[in-house]
Amino acid sequence: QLQLQESGPGLVKPSETLSLTCTVSGDSISGSSHYWGWIRQSPGKGLEWIGSIYYSGTTYYNPSLKSRVIISVDTSKNQFSLRLSSVTAADTAVYFCARNYGDYVNWYFDLWGRGTLVTVSS
């Protein structure tokens, strides 16, 4: 059964870089034809797509975050990762990883991790 699990520090200082990893079990990132994505949700707010990546390294990013985001993949560990630089309190959120599914660049997110709360504070 496919599962996704986010991991990483729960507290990041302002101006530093947020780093999270999503470990995929029950499916092979490199053996599937899916993209894999990051979505976040600020406290009490709605969902915001951050970006998505293919096992080959092809990425799509939210234009509003593109200058600060890097998503990478490690197929040997069946993981993909998020790095968000120069964080501020506005980046405090629950970060979810999810599988993109469906037609190319017309995806939905069919499976999600449980999410991890990252707080930006000194």
Partner 1 sequence: SYVLTQPPSVSVAPGKTARITCGGSNIGSYSVHWYQQRPGQAPVLVIYYDSNRPSGIPERFSGSNSGNTATLTISRVEAGDEADYYCQVWDSSSDHRGLFGTGTKVTVL
Contact residues for partner 1, defined by CB under 8 A: 37, 39, 46-49, 52, 60-63, 96, 101-103, 105-110, 112-115
- Complex with partner 1: residue 13 or 47, whichever CB lies closer: 47
Q: Which residues pair with 36 in a beta bridge?
A: 53, 99
Tokens of 45: 């707010």
Q: Are 16 and 76 in contact (CB under 8 A)?
A: no
Least separation in angstroms between residue 66's CB and partner 1 is 8
Q: Which of 99, 83, 97 is nearest to 28 (CA)?
A: 99
- Complex with partner 1: residue 14 or 26, whichever CB lies closer: 26
Least separation in angstroms between residue 90's CB and partner 1 is 17
Least separation in angstroms between residue 55's CB and partner 1 is 18
DSSP for 97-109, written as a single string: EEEEESSTTS-EE
